[in-house]
Amino acid sequence: MSALAVRGLRVSFDHPLGLVRAVDDVSFDLRPNERFGLVGESGSGKSTMALAIMRMIRPPGHIDGGDILLGGKNLATLSAEDVRQTRLAGIAMVPQGSMNALNPVMRVGDQVADAMRDHDKKPVGIGALMARVGLPAGTADKYPHELSGGMKQRVCIAIAMCLRPTVIIADEPTSALDVVVQRQVMRTLADVQRDLNAAILLIGHDMGLMAQFVDRLGVMYAGRLVEIAPIAEIVRRPRHPYTEMLIASLPSMDHKDALRGIPGLAPLLRDLPSGCAFHPRCPKAQDRCAIERPEPREVESGVLVRCHFA
């Protein structure tokens, strides 16, 4: 059974010019103990998806279809109070930009305790929890401004793990950190995952980080998943042209060649191109791509691609 199963998820935003669909018919499974990555450019819907799974989409946005199955519960239809209980205990999130996630006028240890109390748990073992995420003794008594970016992100990991959830969503947890600290924080996240036997959904745009961290990867473009495959498959042989270009746009340390960006701009969600949304930027596009929307096809066991030519 999956740790988390997302089925046909749709998230829309009401906009004066009509409905904007930020996440469109997304399905994937997070297996127990698995690290699953979601990559895409800004505006691809990956963070919206994270918020939707946490049931944290606020108006004018709303989930307008699909299921989010977590341990026998459907988060998409659960009552607000049940969702509140499930958050942190069943599924927790390490937010993007820990600096804005912590309360600046509250000691960080108290913030962890608060999270536990909120779920009717006695706030015990906070020191051990802090040590578990690699924070030095005494950190619990500090205020966020006294901590470095990496330490604040560790506090967020401590909060995310305090009720031992089975799924942790990490939304660009290291995008504000430099590479050395990034690796330390990701290592902590991996250790915590092992401890909890949890699955991790890592959201980001750095293909290098994904290649080194996740077991499987989903690639998002304009609100849809265009490819899902084991990470080794993606690295060895990306099937969707967009995946290929995402990898090529990353500066490689092996060979120095002309920097290759992805030409054109990500499409506006309220005005998506016809057919395959990627076709205006795709070097392999044919007439068919502008007319016919590709459906996901399993081109090989475990490799799902939305492309007519994969």
Binding site for other proteins (CB under 8 A): 41-43, 149, 178-183, 186-187, 190, 205-209, 211-213, 232, 235-236, 245-247, 249-254, 256, 258-263, 265-266
Q: Give me the least distance between CB of 140 and other proteins, in Å please.
A: 18
Q: Give me the least distance between CB of 162 and other proteins, in Å please.
A: 23
Q: Which is nearer to other proteins, 39 or 52 (CB)?
A: 39
Q: Give me the least distance between CB of 290 and other proteins, in Å please.
A: 21
Q: Which is nearer to other proteins, 56 or 265 (CB)?
A: 265
Q: Which is nearer to other proteins, 68 or 277 (CB)?
A: 277
Q: Which is nearer to other proteins, 160 or 245 (CB)?
A: 245
Q: Omega into 59 within 30° of 0, i.e. cis?
A: no
Q: Which is nearer to other proteins, 43 or 218 (CB)?
A: 43
Q: Give me the least distance between CB of 149 and other proteins, in Å please.
A: 7
Q: Give me the least distance between CB of 295 and other proteins, in Å please.
A: 25
